[in-house]
């Protein structure tokens, strides 16, 4: 892969990391406001009847689930940047063949080619 292509992917991944970091901060804030986190705000609302405890729990669960997904994406982006530095970016972790450019454009942190990705989903 040419250096200019690697620079493009590096820039995309860095921008994605920044965006995901911002989203993670917002999700963490929302999760802490829920019943299981910072009890000062949400519990007071529940006690005053301003919020339904079931709804608060659902919102907490959703925020924590999204936070987990954001954390996983952050990890994948960081790993992709490390692969760029090691010179293994764009090579399938499983079959060691090149990952299609179209796949990398869609998922710049992809670790596997389409065929190996499908195989892994079946396992």
Q: Which residues contact 76 (CB under 8 A, 6 or more apart)?
A: 109, 111
Exposure string (b/e) for 2-12, b if CB count within 10 Å is 16 or more? eeeeeeebbeb
What's the alpha-carbon Rg for the chain, to the nearest Å?
20
| pLDDT tens-digit map of 41-81 | 443 344 344 455 555 567 667 767 777 788 899 999 999 99
Q: Is the pLDDT of residue 24 over 70?
A: yes
How far apart are the C-alpha atoms of 14 and 120, rounded to whole Å? 27
pLDDT of residue 46: 40
More confident residue, 92 or 59: 92
What residues does each domain of the chain span?
3-89, 90-123
pLDDT band at 39 (very low <50, low <70, confident <90, very high): very low
């Amino acid at each position: 892969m040419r250096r200019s292509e690697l620079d493009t992917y590096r820039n995309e991944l860095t921008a994605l990391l920044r965006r995901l970091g911002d989203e993670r901060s917002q999700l963490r804030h929302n999760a802490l406001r829920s019943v299981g986190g910072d009890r000062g705000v949400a519990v007071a609302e529940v006690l005053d009847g301003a919020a339904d405890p079931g709804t608060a729990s659902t919102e907490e669960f959703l925020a924590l689930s999204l936070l987990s997904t954001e954390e996983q994406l952050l990890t994948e982006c960081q790993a992709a940047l490390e692969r760029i530095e090691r010179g293994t970016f764009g090579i399938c972790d499983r079959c060691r063949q090149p990952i299609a450019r179209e796949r990398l454009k869609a998922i710049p942190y992809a670790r596997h080619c389409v065929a190996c990705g499908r195989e892994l989903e079946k396992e």
